Amino acid sequence: MTDPDHDLTSALASLRPRPPGPAVTAALARELDPPAARRGVILAWSTGLAAAAALVLGLYLGVAPAEAPAPSYQLVRAEQSPANVEVLRPVRLDDGSFARPVRVRWDSTTQWEDPRSRTRFINFRPNETTTLLPLETY
């Protein structure tokens, strides 16, 4: 093959890079690793400034007030209203049978109180359930 491009391609493919010399490796190591003495000085200053800031903040704010205990709610009252039952007109189902819809409504209320702070928590829940009662016709 006398193609000049082929000769150039094969010559470039046969090239292998040499490993870097020890001077290059040492120079890279010096540049990538920060000096230990400088790092120690920065850490010492940072620690000293943080301690001084904590001392000033502690003196400025004084002793933190005691945290109030969490409320301990106790059940005071629980009520449930009488159920309101509604019987609706019968409906025809897809299979041809009949069913009567029945709707039941009621309210549930619970009251909780913290005896120390007299804080009240009232939970009111209205409830509704609808169901179909099958009817047998003869």
Helix (H, G, I), strand (E, B) or coil at 22: helix
pLDDT of residue 83: 92
pLDDT of residue 5: 75
Q: For residue 21, count other CB atoms closer than 10 A to its CB.
A: 9
Using one digit for the tens of pLDDT, what is the confidence trace for 38-62? 656 677 778 878 888 887 777 777 7
d(Cα 21, Cα 89) in Å, to the nearest integer? 97
Residue 38 to residues 2, 35, 105, 134: CA-CA distances in angstroms?
A: 62, 6, 77, 87
Pairing label, strands 98-114, 74-80: antiparallel
pLDDT of residue 65: 61
Mean pLDDT value of segment 7-19? 80
Q: Where are the chain's structural domains?
A: 20-61, 74-135
Residue 138 — very low, low, confident or very high, per pLDDT cuts 50/70/90?
A: low
Nearest to 120 by CA among 78, 80, 69, 73: 73
d(Cα 120, Cα 111) in Å, to the nearest integer? 7
pLDDT of residue 91: 92
pLDDT higher at 130 or 33: 130
Using one digit for the tens of pLDDT, what is the confidence trace for 73-126? 899 999 999 999 999 999 999 988 899 999 999 999 999 999 888 889 999 999
